[in-house]
Amino acid sequence: MIENQEYKEYKIILQKGADLNNAGAVLGWDQEVYMPPKGAFARGRQLATLASMAHELLTGNKIENLIERLRENEQLNDTEKANIRRSYEDYQRNKKLSSEFVEELSAQTSECFNAWIDARKKNDFQVFAPSLTKMVALKKQQAALYGHEGNLYDSLLDEYEPGATVAMLDKVFDGIKEQLPTILAKIKAATQVNDDFLYRQYPKEQQWDFSISVLKNMGYDFEAGRQDYSEHPFTTSFSPGDVRITTRVNERDFASLLWSTIHEGGHALYEQGLPEEQYGLPLGSATSLGIHESQSRLWENCIGRSIDFWSHFYPMLIQYFPQQFAGVTVQDFYRAANKVAPSLIRTEADEITYHFHVLIRYELEKALIAGTINVSDLPAAWNELYLKYLGITPPDDNSGILQDVHWSHGSFGYFPTYTLGSFYAAQFYAKAQQDIPSLKEKIAAGNSDELLAWLRGHIHQYGRRFNSEDLCERITGAKLDPAYFIRYIQQKYSDVYGTDLTNG
């Protein structure tokens, strides 16, 4: 079938916009990985210029007219119609922001990130506070420009998880507050897990080399990506042929590097699996951040913390660290990898208490956008919520209010997708086990190819063709159901702790 000429013109504009945004993403990756400190000012300007140019291109009259005409064109095939439908939604949203505002927001993001890095070095939130105050003001302005029917925060949530609202998420987190404390109480009453051996001396180079072996086994294509170090682990994609991840290392904490690598590897596999022929178009990008997080959480927790996974990898791990794991069995390691205990750092939290970390950030973001607390109130509010939900208090800013990079990026509305992603992951993994005969045995044998192929076929290939709820229903036959996650953790942690965690 001959491609419609107007559709060709539409593609050219969107792909040029993607080129500009991805050029900015390369500069952003460099900013977080390699850029010398004195490059910060010019880098902020460069990123702002590229963001403004892309915005002007993607909200101009030409693309508006093309999209309007293509919406009425019945000759387009289903894929083309899906791209136009999503592009219309994007255009209606993006045109509400001026190029000047986009440039200002981009420049502030660069300034805010560098202030966060400086604050981390000095372990002092007050270094970060002035830049963050400006960022919060801009995000409130952005939310107001987008418009909203309910809560102002809804506009920011919708940027990461289309359709998500405060009303919906409040119900999700109310369920967490209702169900997880009971499970945690039973775990606390059980015989506790020993994980002391995870905090021995683990040389950086060996940790790195082992993580590379794990990534290769997962199916991460090193000819289409690379791993580096950064202050906060992240994944960035410039195309399916160039998807990069970062991790961080602590030689006295074995878990810090490995599960960050597996988590980011899950994100990267999604990006590497998107259809390359749809580059720059909606169907060439991920469904939502919730679905994206489902991929990272599935690999990190359902697979990477499973006894099946370690049945294969533990003998290799002992070869890397024979002294550190002397006398430690694979069952000991599996239980240690899944120890449940309140902790300070979200990215290193167990998969049960993790959701209280997300809840805390969600509550603080709602309050910031509503104006019921100010940036200056954050450290005290943070510590109060950690004491309330986890029974612990951060001893300093780096292990508390400064631990996450997201606010420095202006990513307000992002954190709830971590919990939604965990719920989707449990539901998808349950379905994958139904569809793939002996999946757990295959993972134990070091074969994750069939799981990756299943994810490619059911999720990755579709890009944004479906919204999150419809994709979930298409795969599992049901909308998102948190009961899958509750059953998953009850079964898993009953095994880990040797006690019945089911209700009743």
Query: Under DSSP, is residue 146 helix (H, G, I), strand (E, B) or coil?
Result: helix
Q: How far apart are CA 491 and CA 348, in angstroms?
A: 21
The answer to whether the CB of 239 falls within 8 A of the CB of 254 is no
Would you say how long the chain is, in residues? 504
Largest separation between any pair of C-alpha atoms in the chain: 69
**Which of 255, 228, 260 has the alpha carbon at shortest distance from 243?**
228
Q: Helix 289-297 crosses helix 254-272 at what angle (to 10 degrees)?
A: 130
The answer to whether the CB of 320 falls within 8 A of the CB of 213 is no
Q: How far apart are CA 399 and CA 123, in angstroms?
A: 9
| Distances in whole angstroms, Cα of residue 485 to Cα of each of 175, 184, 336, 434, 490 | 12, 15, 21, 16, 8
For 194, phi then psi, to 5°, come to: -95, 125
Region of residue 151 (phi > 0: left; psi between -120 and 50: alpha; otherwise: beta): beta
| Distances in whole angstroms, Cα of residue 156 to Cα of each of 25, 141, 151, 292, 411 | 21, 11, 10, 17, 8
Q: How far apart are CA 169 and CA 480, in angstroms?
A: 13
**Which of 200, 297, 290, 306 has the alpha carbon at shortest distance from 253?**
200
For 500, phi then psi, to 5°, come to: -80, 115
Write the DSSP string, 196-220. GGGGS---HHHHHHHHHHHHHHHT-
| Distances in whole angstroms, Cα of residue 8 to Cα of each of 30, 92, 161, 442 | 33, 21, 29, 44
CB atoms inside a 10 Å sphere around CB 16:
15
Element holding 235 (H helix, E strand): strand 235-239
- Say whether 264 is catalytic: yes
Catalytic residue (choose from 32, 103, 264, 293): 264
Residue type, 310: W
Region of residue 280 (phi > 0: left; psi between -120 and 50: alpha; otherwise: beta): left
Report the 3 state secondary structure along 185-197.
HHHHHCCCCCCHH
Residues annotated as catalytic are 264
